[in-house]
Amino acid sequence: GEDVEQSLFLSVREGDSSVINCTYTDSSSTYLYWYKQEPGAGLQLLTYIFSNMDMKQDQRLTVLLNKKDKHLSLRIADTQTGDSAIYFCAGNTGNQFYFGTGTSLTVIP
Amino acid sequence: GAVVSQHPSWVICKSGTSVKIECRSLDFQATTMFWYRQFPKQSLMLMATSNEGSKATYEQGVEKDKFLINHASLTLSTLTVTSAHPEDSSFYICSAQGGVGELFFGEGSRLTVL
């Protein structure tokens, strides 16, 4: 199966930008996703990028995809305390979805 | 955008009872839905792929008689945890696949078995 790796922890100060990185092994994913999970809550789809795109911007979120290096990143501009959560990247090959272990983002006031 | 609703959000049951969790796609039809389980501080584990009108496909190590999946319509899949035991306590999450392959998740159901 696919391996999807993320750093486990990230801390940033409120107002700074956060960059969460993800690497994957299988380049056949049609879409790559970023999900947010707040404590005690389910997954929230933040954004997704089609595999033939390099970048997608959605308000404070910017997704960068480097297919050559199999690297996906999520940049959160002007990070707020409400952004503290676990962020999962995911990809799919056919109907099989693979998730990273999640990056726990802590925003320091 | 597409919304997937999962019910119930929280359920507490006694050991030995069965619990049914529903997953509905609210504004789109999903021929394929997925069920995941999340262990504490771990990523999601795919349990099974639910296909409308046919039997679910279970991942290796997942007991199909323990976790019954029914996908009777294009908007509803159910997961029944039969004869639940404390070790079945977990966070169960469903997802539904949209028309171009994108994936939408329910908010999850937290099961506690006493």
Give pLDDT, residue A101.
78
What's the CA gap between A82 and A78, in Å, rounded? Answer: 11
- The DSSP secondary structure of B34-99, one letter per residue, reads EEEEE-TTS-EEEEEEEETTS--EEPTT--TTTEEEEEEETTEEEEEE-S--GGG-EEEEEEEE-T
3-state secondary structure of B100: coil
The separation between CA B82 and the C-alpha centre of its own chain, rounded to angstroms, equals 13
DSSP state of B15: T
Q: Which of A45, A46, A92 to mutate to test the interface with B (most CBs of B within 10 A)?
A: A45
A101 CB neighbours in chain B (<8 A) are 42-43
How much of chain A, in percent, has pLDDT values that exceed 70? Answer: 91
Query: Is B19 in contact with B12 (CB distance < 8 Å)?
Result: no
Q: Which residues of A touch B (CB under 8 A)?
A: 30-31, 33, 35, 40-45, 48, 88, 90, 92, 95-97, 99-102
The pLDDT profile of chain A, 109 residues, written as one tens digit per residue, is 567 888 889 999 999 999 999 998 877 777 888 988 887 666 778 888 988 899 999 999 999 999 999 999 999 999 999 999 989 998 876 656 677 878 999 999 9
Residue range B59-104, pLDDT digits in tens: 889 999 999 999 989 999 999 999 999 999 998 999 888 776 677 8
Closest by CA to A29, choosing from A74, A62, A71, is A71
| Chain B residues in contact with A33 (beta carbon < 8 A) | 102-103
